[in-house]
């Protein structure tokens, strides 16, 4: 695993920008201060609140009080943006905080959410679209839900209790594929077609991410404890 970020970043000297149309990342999303750092350019660039680049649009905001991680992030990942090579997969590495004197049980709530519907809000399902799947971490438990066979009918295909405090997990996602670790685990639905459908004929090309929140805007499902994330794009 590339060690882009799972240590404190030195922010001095970074160029402040609102967007960079040419870069292909990777991006560092810091939930302790709301900053978004693009490590792709020769001189890394830093933004706050919103950052737009070919493969992703990132938005950070303070939405509630958490002692160590007061920010949330919502990310729209585009696997086929038109002005950059089509992605084979994307990789999200999330660093989680541990217990502190101000918060004795961390991480908790909805800290990590990955889905292919902008209305995903946990526990499977979405806006009624076909081929909607999602994965989320709730109270340090990872669940992966299949797309619906009929309206409201989904399967939980993965459930695993994780130990996240003061650790990091790498999540890879692609068309009909999801993996996580360490230790390494994966779900491949190439034949069954019941996971994320990204970039196939007639399908959408987007996957959405929520950090310290679920994907759906306006939901009250939030969390504390996702500290920083690296988002990598793999053509």
For residue 93, being part of any structural domain is answered with yes
For residue 46, being part of any structural domain is answered with yes
Residues 6+ apart with CB under 8 A from 38: 17, 20, 23, 25, 26, 27, 28, 44, 45, 46, 47, 51, 53
For residue 66, being part of any structural domain is answered with yes
Residue 143 φ then ψ, to 5°: -130, 140
Domain count across the chain: 1
For residue 13, being part of any structural domain is answered with no
| CATH number of the domain that residue 219 is part of | 2.60.120
For residue 146, being part of any structural domain is answered with yes
For residue 85, being part of any structural domain is answered with yes
Residue 31 pLDDT:
95
Residue ranges making up the domain that contains 140: 31-229
Residue 10 pLDDT:
38
For residue 26, being part of any structural domain is answered with no
Query: Among residues 40, 38, 18, 13, which one has the least CA distance to residue 28?
Result: 38
For residue 51, being part of any structural domain is answered with yes
Give pLDDT tens digits along the chain (235 positions).
Answer: 444 444 444 344 444 444 555 678 999 999 999 999 999 998 999 998 999 999 999 999 997 678 889 999 999 999 999 889 999 999 999 999 987 666 667 799 999 999 988 999 998 876 555 567 999 999 999 999 988 777 677 889 999 999 999 999 999 999 999 999 989 999 999 998 889 988 766 668 999 999 999 999 999 999 999 999 999 999 9
- What is the DSSP-derived secondary structure letter of residue 19? B
Residue 197 pLDDT:
86
Residue 12 pLDDT:
40
């Amino acid at each position: 695993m590339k060690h882009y970020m799972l240590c404190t970043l030195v922010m001095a000297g970074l160029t402040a920008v609102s967007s960079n149309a040419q870069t292909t990342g990777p991006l560092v999303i810091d939930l302790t201060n709301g900053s978004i750092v693009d490590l792709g350019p020769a001189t890394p660039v830093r933004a706050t609140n919103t950052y737009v680049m070919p493969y992703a649009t990132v938005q950070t905001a303070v939405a509630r009080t958490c002692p160590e991680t007061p920010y949330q992030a919502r990310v729209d990942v585009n696997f086929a943006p038109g002005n950059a090579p089509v992605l084979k997969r994307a990789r999200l590495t999330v660093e989680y905080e541990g217990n502190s004197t101000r918060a004795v049980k961390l991480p908790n709530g909805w800290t990590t959410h990955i889905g292919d519907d902008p209305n995903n809000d946990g526990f499977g399902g979405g806006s009624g679209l076909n081929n909607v799947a999602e994965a989320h971490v709730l109270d340090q438990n990872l669940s992966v839900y299949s797309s619906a066979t009929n309206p409201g009918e989904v399967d939980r295909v993965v459930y695993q209790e994780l130990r996240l405090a003061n650790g990091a997990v790498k999540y890879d996602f692609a068309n009909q594929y999801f993996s996580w670790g360490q230790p390494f685990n994966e779900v491949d639905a190439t034949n069954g077609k019941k996971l994320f459908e990204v970039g196939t004929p007639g399908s959408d090309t987007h996957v959405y991410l929520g950090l310290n929140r679920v994907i759906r805007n306006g939901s009250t499902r939030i969390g504390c404890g996702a500290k920083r994330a690296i988002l990598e794009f793999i053509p």
